[in-house]
Chain A
Amino acid sequence: MSTDAPDLTNDGARSFRGIAFKTFFAVCAFLSILTTLAIIGTLLYDAVDFFAAVPPLEFLTGTEWTPSNEVYGVWPLISGTLIITFGSAAIALPIGLLTAIYLSEYATERRRAYLKPALEVLAGVPTVVYGYFALVYVTPVLDRILPLGTFNALSASIMVGIMIIPMVSSISEDAMSSVPDSLRQASYGLGATKFTVSTSVVVPAALSGILSSYILALSRAIGETMIVAIAAGMTPRMIDLTDPGGMFLESVQTMTAAMVQIGASDVVGQSTEYKSLFAVGLTLFVITFAMNLFSEWVSSRYREVYR
């Protein structure tokens, strides 16, 4: 009982170093929140000025977009964005889903090892390259069978669609792979074929994951810039409800393309046209942010189902 109590206290230098590092790391993590705030702040700052000159109602309901005449109705740009999003979705959603089914249910381990990285390449090609491909290769080929303009929504949609396939397929495949094997076994035990198992058991069980991948892919298509700026042209126009298909053959202008057009021109810092950049940017940000959040919410719901 004679031993002295040991010194177990903290030595100051050690704890100072620890706190210093922890603080630095925490600052790094909080920087992400700061980034979000800075995005919202910069967008609002100039958008507020814009809405002082152009009433928000006029902006949000107007059907004409001609900055040179000081007419700022956002609907033609939203129409253009919808066209491209719809067109690319028509390609990427079914193809991405079927790809995910192949990878998750049919492909051997070996094939999957080759196919997955190859698919990731589709998302890794710079979008400026896709835009160039659409303009100089896809449009001339399609022009032989369709009355296409030099700039058109069709080739841009196809390229955006190809680009977002891996987004749909990889997230959907993750969802399908996490479907417990016992469900598949149960279905096989009832004499189901692989087709039936895939379509009636795996896909429904992975539905929220698939849905989440769809929303993310659409959000990506809405925000895609270079492909549409290069290949779809710069003609703001409303959707012609009597001939929606015809829209694909012509040039349209998306929100992102309009931003590139203004950004690349030499507009002065205080003009309404310059400020309109931020109003359109804010609209785009709100739409994509809401979709990303929605997708996150959908996928967090499905995670709980299988826990």
Chain B
Amino acid sequence: MSSETDSTTKTDLTDASESSRQPSFEQVSRTKDVAFRWLTLAAALVGIVALAALLLNVLVDALAIFDPANGPWVDWQFLTNPPSFSNPYDAGFFPAIVGSIALMILIALITFPLGVGAAIYLEEYASDGPLTRFIQLNIANLAGVPSVVYGLLGLGLFVGLLNIGFGTLLVAGFTVSLLILPIVIISAQEAIRSVPDSQRQASYGMGATKWQTIRNVVLPRAMPGILTGTILALGRAIGETAPLIMIGAPTAVFGVPNSLFSKISAMPMQIYTWADLPETEFQYGVVAAGVVTLLVILLSINSIAIVIRNRYQTQE
């Protein structure tokens, strides 16, 4: 903006010469320019403002700020009770929280080695041939496959063909892992690519093997980026609902999982089944509390990623 408006001062300067054939430097109309600037700014903000308003609403409902008679919906009892579908004041989120965390740990254990391994292969080993490009394109495409389709993959492959069992922790873990694997691979590739080549050269020049170079030089340097990307992907995983529905995750789980073959609930799954209930206490109370809990946990996960990234950046 600033660079545009000072053309008026330039006009003043030329006025000083009182020649008869003075060129005209009249102000060019900026109306369209200014209007467009505000329009684009409004566009940039509209989604953010809308989301902020919705978040404020759900927070107000979950804390029951305008209806304090029964206390906030998110309380210790909500966090530690099993779910209920008849008594909203007794309903709890505990099995769903534990289920989500167990699921996330399993997904992390599956996707981290596989995702980083694939990224190492693509960045450090694979030559730039048609096969590599095909794998790369395939990964990009997998990242765009709807999550409900991954649910069908889980249903057909892990439940149907391999018979691991409807709605178990293991099936859910495998299914959602396949879903976020492309995201983990792509972010790990970016992190590995950002390691300067001079570091690899130095290592090879010392007579290090490829694996020694990767382990001692490339991975340590890329690790903050890899971790950030993986944690963000786990954040995505924890919010996934459709695949869990498709693999037959039960609508009500009252206990915590005690093996990989336990049927599990998860936070988004529990929210979905509660949202179906017509009572106001559920719609604007229990579900709001579930949403706020899910978002707070999601926020903490993402904050960890941001902390890792920032600490790394200040070190550089």
Q: Do chains A and B touch in the complex (CB under 8 A)?
A: yes
The distance in angstroms between the C-alpha atoms of A29 and B132, with both chains bound, is 9
The answer to whether the Cβ of B165 comes within 8 Å of any Cβ in the partner chain is no
The distance in angstroms between the C-alpha atoms of A126 and B113, with both chains bound, is 25
Q: Are B37 and A14 in contact (CB under 8 A)?
A: no
Q: Please tell me which one of the listed residues B57, B113, B117, B148 contacts residue A223 in the complex, with CB atoms under 8 A apart.
A: B148
The distance in angstroms between the C-alpha atoms of A241 and B274, with both chains bound, is 36
Chain A interface: which of B16-24, B46-54, B69-77, B196-204?
A: B46-54
The distance in angstroms between the C-alpha atoms of A158 and B191, with both chains bound, is 35
**Interface code A1-25, partner B: CB below 8 Å = 1, 0 otherwise?**
0000000000000100110011011
The answer to whether the Cβ of A71 comes within 8 Å of any Cβ in the partner chain is no
Q: Are A98 and B44 in contact (CB under 8 A)?
A: yes
Chain B residues closer than 8 Å to A162, beta-carbon distance: 47, 50-51
Q: Are B241 and A29 in contact (CB under 8 A)?
A: no
The distance in angstroms between the C-alpha atoms of A129 and B4, with both chains bound, is 44
The residue on B at minimum CB distance from A162 is B47
Q: Dominant SS at the A interface? A: helix
Chain A residues closer than 8 Å to B181, beta-carbon distance: 31-32, 35
Chain A residues closer than 8 Å to B125, beta-carbon distance: 22, 25-26
The answer to whether the Cβ of A133 comes within 8 Å of any Cβ in the partner chain is yes
Q: Are B144 and A292 in contact (CB under 8 A)?
A: yes
- Closest chain A CB from B149 CB (angstroms): 5
Chain A residues closer than 8 Å to B294, beta-carbon distance: 126, 129
The answer to whether the Cβ of B151 comes within 8 Å of any Cβ in the partner chain is yes
Q: Are B126 and A29 in contact (CB under 8 A)?
A: yes
The answer to whether the Cβ of B291 comes within 8 Å of any Cβ in the partner chain is yes
- Assuming the A-B contacts A32-B118, A125-B51, A127-B241, are A119 and B44 also in contact, with contact meaning beta carbons closer than 8 angstroms in the complex? yes
- Assuming the A-B contacts A33-B135, A193-B32, A296-B137, are A18 and B209 also in contact, with contact meaning beta carbons closer than 8 angstroms in the complex? yes
Chain B residues closer than 8 Å to A165, beta-carbon distance: 47
Q: Are A126 and B54 in contact (CB under 8 A)?
A: no
- Closest chain A CB from B202 CB (angstroms): 19
**Interface code A260-302, partner B: CB below 8 Å = 1, 0 otherwise?**
1001100001000000011001001100110111001000000
Chain A residues closer than 8 Å to B211, beta-carbon distance: 17-18, 21-22
The distance in angstroms between the C-alpha atoms of A124 and B44, with both chains bound, is 17
Q: Are A115 and B144 in contact (CB under 8 A)?
A: no
The distance in angstroms between the C-alpha atoms of A31 and B157, with both chains bound, is 15
The answer to whether the Cβ of B106 comes within 8 Å of any Cβ in the partner chain is no
The residue on B at minimum CB distance from A197 is B33
The distance in angstroms between the C-alpha atoms of A126 and B135, with both chains bound, is 28
Q: Are A42 and B51 in contact (CB under 8 A)?
A: no
- Interface size on A, as a range, is 35 or more
Chain A residues closer than 8 Å to B238, beta-carbon distance: 126
- Closest chain A CB from B61 CB (angstroms): 8
- Closest chain A CB from B5 CB (angstroms): 11
The answer to whether the Cβ of A175 comes within 8 Å of any Cβ in the partner chain is no
- Assuming the A-B contacts A29-B126, A133-B58, A292-B141, are A223 and B275 also in contact, with contact meaning beta carbons closer than 8 angstroms in the complex? no
The distance in angstroms between the C-alpha atoms of A30 and B125, with both chains bound, is 13
**Interface code B105-139, partner A: CB below 8 Å = 1, 0 otherwise?**
00000000111111011101110000000110111
The answer to whether the Cβ of A102 comes within 8 Å of any Cβ in the partner chain is yes
Chain B residues closer than 8 Å to A42, beta-carbon distance: 152-153, 155-157, 160-161
The answer to whether the Cβ of A226 comes within 8 Å of any Cβ in the partner chain is yes
Q: Are A45 and B28 in contact (CB under 8 A)?
A: no
- Closest chain A CB from B268 CB (angstroms): 4
Q: Are A288 and B121 in contact (CB under 8 A)?
A: no
Q: Please tell me which one of the listed residues B32, B40, B57, B160 contacts residue A106 in the complex, with CB atoms under 8 A apart.
A: B40
- Closest chain B CB from A198 CB (angstroms): 7
Q: Mark A residues whose CB is within 8 Å of B.
A: 14, 17-18, 21-22, 24-33, 35-36, 38-39, 42-43, 45-46, 94-99, 101-103, 105-107, 115, 118-119, 121-122, 124-129, 131-133, 135-138, 162, 165-166, 169, 191, 193-195, 198-199, 216, 219-220, 222-226, 229-230, 256, 259-260, 263-264, 269, 277-278, 281, 284-285, 288-289, 291-293, 296
A-B CB contact pairs (8 Å), 22 listed: A14-B209, A18-B210, A21-B211, A25-B120, A31-B118, A32-B185, A38-B153, A42-B160, A97-B43, A98-B40, A98-B44, A99-B40, A126-B294, A127-B242, A128-B275, A131-B272, A193-B4, A194-B4, A259-B246, A260-B246, A264-B251, A293-B141
The 10 closest A-B pairs by CB, nearest first: A223-B146, A126-B239, A42-B156, A28-B117, A98-B43, A102-B40, A25-B121, A28-B118, A292-B144, A225-B242
